């Protein structure tokens, strides 16, 4: 049986892929470009892809293909309608990264609210040594306790973030992007109100027609002065040009792990802010703790096993 993994590098070189070998011959590629995909999957029965796009044309030229395993939760990189037409099963993996994303959310929040970037540089750069004082409180930092934490997208991850934020002493408000999730243990409010009242706002919703450019110039102006905006959902939910413009106007903070184009362009306005210390950016890693990636592989193995037993 031919199994092809198209983009193993995105799963990490430290991940042990040997559990896949029990299903047959495994061909592994670190990365796969769009013009390489057809050649690599044309004889495969099972294809594993994280972000490599698989189109209808590609599937049509792979007559043995029976199963596509997406090494992620999102399924937008595979033409699902074409797969149904061609009787090709598509399976994803859910829930593997919840703890990892929640942890990264708070890593970002704590770094920004605690002004850790400044204080790290004050010590390493010698400013503290030169001050003659036992402490440096020149950049006042705050506590999460007593703050309002707003959540955009109160799904599985959003609910876990809410629980942890409550442990820190925050009160929770949320905005339902679908409009259907308004009965919860927390206060639901509209987006403008969320921005007006909350000190920290974190995004945990998918990218779809309702959420594309959801955060833009029309509502960023409502964000509280000094507030922290975190995007752990998908790039494209925030209009990055509008966020950069608002950043240069006044004091707001942001932690972004996802971007409209990944990797981020060096010309992206977020790379050239007047006050870059107020922005924390990471390269789409919230999902990727070693524990999460192991769970992801376990999910892929389970999906293949289930498919073969059906």
Catalytic residue among 204, 234, 240, 246: 234
CA distances from 209 to 112, 151, 177, 214, 236 (A): 30, 19, 10, 9, 11
Task: Decide if 262 is catalytic.
Answer: yes
Residue 284 designated active-site: yes
Exactly one of 25, 262, 291, 298 is catalytic; which is it?
262
> Is there a contact between 152 and 190 (Cβ–Cβ < 8 Å)?
no
Q: Which position has the token pair 């409502």?
A: 222
190 is catalytic: no
Q: How many whole angstroms separate alpha carbon 110 and alpha carbon 93?
A: 29
Give catalytic residue positions. Answer: 234, 262, 284
């Amino acid at each position: 049986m031919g199994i092809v993994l198209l983009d193993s590098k995105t799963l990490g070189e430290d991940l042990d892929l040997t559990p896949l070998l029990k299903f047959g011959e495994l061909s592994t590629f670190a990365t796969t470009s769009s013009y390489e995909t057809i050649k690599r999957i044309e004889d495969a029965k099972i294809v594993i892809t994280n972000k490599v796009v698989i189109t209808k044309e590609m599937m049509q030229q792979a007559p043995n293909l029976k199963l596509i395993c997406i090494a992620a939760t999102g399924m937008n990189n595979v033409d699902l309608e074409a797969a149904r037409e061609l009787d090709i099963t598509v399976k994803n993996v859910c829930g593997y990264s919840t703890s990892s994303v929640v942890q990264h959310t708070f890593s970002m929040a704590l770094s920004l609210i605690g002004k850790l970037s400044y204080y790290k540089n004050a010590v390493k750069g010698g400013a503290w040594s030169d001050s003659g004082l036992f402490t440096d409180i020149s950049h006042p930092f705050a506590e999460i306790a007593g703050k309002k934490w707003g959540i955009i997208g109160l799904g599985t991850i959003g609910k876990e973030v809410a629980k942890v934020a409550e442990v820190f002493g925050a009160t929770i408000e949320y905005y339902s992007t679908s409009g259907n999730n308004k009965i919860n243990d927390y206060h639901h409010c509209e987006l403008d109100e969320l921005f007006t009242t909350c000190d920290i706002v974190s995004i945990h919703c998918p990218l779809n027609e309702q959420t594309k450019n959801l955060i833009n110039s029309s509502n960023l102006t409502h964000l509280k002065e000094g507030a922290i905006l975190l995007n752990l959902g998908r790039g494209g939910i925030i209009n990055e040009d509008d966020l950069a413009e608002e950043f240069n106007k006044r004091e707001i903070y942001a932690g972004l792990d996802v971007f409209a184009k990944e990797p981020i362009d060096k010309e992206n306005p977020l790379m050239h802010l007047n006050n870059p210390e107020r922005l924390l950016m990471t390269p789409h890693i919230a999902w990727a703790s070693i524990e999460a990636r192991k769970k992801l592989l376990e999910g892929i193995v389970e999906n293949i096993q289930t498919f073969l037993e059906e």
